[in-house]
Structure formats: C-alpha cells, structure tokens
Amino acid sequence: MRRYRSISQHAAVRRRALAAAATLTVLSAVAAPQALAQSDWPSKPVRIVVPFAAGGTTDIVARVIAEQLSPVLKQTVIVENRAGAGGNVGADAVAKSAPDGYTFLMGTPGTQAINQFLYPKMPYDTEKDLIPVSYVTRVPNVMVVPPSLGVKTMDDLIKLARSKPGKLTYGSPGNGSTGQLSTELFKTRAKVFVTHIPYRGSGPMLQDLLGGQIDMSIDNLPSALPHIKSGRLIALGVTSAAPNAQLPDVKPIGASLPGYEAESWFVLVAPRGTPEAIVTRVSAEVDRILKKPDVIERFRGLGAEPVGGTPADLARHIASETTKWREVVKASGAKID
C-alpha cells in the first residue's frame, strides 16, 4: 500500500512538473519576440517616410530627428520622400509596410486627422493601420496680408471682411491644406465670408500674395517668416494659443476670436503591429532628443516648438485633433475627388 501511494505521489509530482514546463514554454514563446526586439533591433537601417517633397517643414523635421537618432541606435536612419495625394501616398506605404520596427512615418494633421474627411476613398485606415510613437513638434501657422491691403491688426481685418462679404480673397497651399482649413475655421469664428483661391503649394501662393493678387493667407510660419521679417508681408496673428518666439509681438488669432487654435504638427507613427518594445524605445529616445538644448534651439529657430511625451500622450492629441478637424471640414464643405 505504501508503495502504491509512493508511485501515485511520484506520478502526480511528475505531472505537475510537466505542466509547469509546458507553461514556461508558452510564456517563453510569448516573450521571445519582445526580447528579440529589445536585444537585436535595429540590425539594419531604419526608414522615416516623409509623405511630401523634400525641402518642406515635414522633411526638415524628419531630417533633424533622423540625424539625432542614427548615433543613438547605431544604425543609419534614412529619410525617404514619397509625396502625393496630400500625404496619402507616403502614409499608405508605411501603413502597408512590415511592422518590424524598420519603417516609420513623419505624420501631419493631413495624414493623421484631416484627409479621412476630405477624400471619398482612403487607401489606408488612419486609426487602425498606424499607431502613435512620438509627438515631435508643433508649428503655428500665421495670418499674413500685404501692406497694400491697408490693415495692421486682426480686428482691422475682421472689420474689413465684414464690410465686404465675398469680396476679399485668401490663398492656400491647396485644397484640404491646413492653410485652407485654418482660414475656414477663422471664417466660422469671425462670421465673415472670404473667397478661397487654392494653389499648388506655398511658393506660388506667397508670390501672388506678395504681388497683391490675393488679399490674405494663413500659411506655415517657416514659409512666411522671411517675408514677414523683410516687411513685405504683415503678420496679423498666429494660429497657436500663445505667441511664437520668432514673432513675440504678434498676438494669437484667439485674442480676437476666443477659442481659435489651429497649429500644424509633426508626429512619428508606425505600422500597427510594430513591437511594443521598439515603439517604447523609439518614443523614449525621441523624447530625450527633444530635450537637448541644440535641438530645441534648432527647432525654435524655424518657429517650431518641440513637444515629446509618450505614445499615449500622442494618441490623445490625435483623437482631439481628429474631432476638431472633422467639424471644420464639415463646416467648410471642402472635398477632394
């Protein structure tokens, strides 16, 4: 009888040992990809896709981050420009890339919030296909007019526009751009009607504004800043909630129109499925980079403000901006076929 009990006890112990071993095997299999991601990544160059042409603000921001990340990751970080369809071409390429931590997108309000409400058919799902990594920087736009318009303050412009409904014109870098939608938000808050003239980019639009062919524009601060400093354009207000260091004497548009805020922003996102360990590491590295004095100085020299934070912080920001721009697009009636 004692022998029977001994054999039974031995069998029970053996079964428990085998079960424990099986559990450990399963846990190890689950943990392996994360451990691999942490120890072996990156083992080849990393890509940041810019969904616009070289030379623009998105491209400049991406190159600053790539330059700073390369020595930290001990791998080349390549910036690849894939322009088209308001950023959709590049964003779609990233959304459909392997989620292995080697491809990221420098996203913008268009790719992450606005385009889904402008285009009748999107090639990717903004919310489902791309995940937040890092909020890199925000850049205010600025309302500018030529001296020939004869206004010097935002209140002057609002008064003039109300006295001439539909007579004044505003230019934008294109249909669906933050320039157009920022102005549509201005129109809604100011209760004015001005006529939209879309262009193919900031360059030709600014040339017509400088020549007096159009009356006003809300454009990206880095593009407009040289003309403001030369005196060829007058800055009436920035679209951020606070004044910008590059234009300390220019009030926010919100000072005249309470609640108005419409900044451009640049964020790092990745294909859904990218290992959490990689997303967490890249986010932390970018956050450290954005706290470096030389990087802060470089961005602020462009009129941009470094942000940083966690992927969760960025997710909340994108959700808030999506809600805001959905309403602006609806109110403006803007659509792109």
pLDDT of residue 204: 84
Query: How many other CB atoms sit within 10 Å of the CB of residue 310?
Result: 17
pLDDT digits (tens, 9 = 90+) for 48-75: 999 887 877 788 899 999 999 999 999 9
Decide if 139 contacts 263 (C-beta within 8 A): yes
pLDDT at 328 over 60: yes
Residues 97 and 271 sit within 8 Å (Cβ to Cβ): yes
Going by their DSSP bridges, the two strands 169-172 and 195-198 should be labelled as parallel
Per DSSP, helices labelled H in the chain are 2-40, 57-73, 88-95, 109, 115-118, 126-129, 154-163, 178-190, 202-210, 221-230, 276-289, 293-301, 311-332
Return the pLDDT at 31: 45
pLDDT of residue 29: 44
- pLDDT, residue 25, reads 46
Residue 15 has pLDDT above 60, yes or no: no
DSSP state of 133: E
Where do the domains of the chain lie? 46-138+264-332, 141-255
- Residue pLDDT, tens place only, 98-122: 999 999 999 999 899 999 999 999 9
Alpha-carbon span 300 to 284, nearest angstrom: 21
What pLDDT is attached to residue 5?
46
Say what the pLDDT of residue 14 is: 54
Tokens of 316: 């909340």
181-216 pLDDT per residue, tens: 899 889 989 999 999 998 866 778 899 999 999 999
| Cα-to-chain-centroid distance, residue 290 | 15
Question: Distance between CA atoms of 71 and 308, rounded to whole angstroms?
Answer: 19
Instruction: Identify the pLDDT of residue 33.
Output: 46
Chain segment 267-313, per-residue pLDDT in tens? 999 999 999 999 999 999 999 999 999 999 999 888 888 999 999 99
| Whether the predicted pLDDT of 78 surpasses 90 | yes
pLDDT in tens, 216-261: 999 888 888 889 999 999 999 999 888 988 899 999 999 999 989 8
- Report the half-sphere exposure of 68 (CA within 13 A, side-chain side): 23
b (16+ CB within 10 A) / e for 177-186: bbbbbbbbbb
Q: Which CATH number fits domain 141-255: 3.90.1150.10, 1.10.3720.10, 3.40.190.10, 1.10.760.10?
A: 3.40.190.10
**Domain 141-255 in the same topology as domain 46-138+264-332:** yes
- CATH number of the domain at 46-138+264-332, please? 3.40.190.150
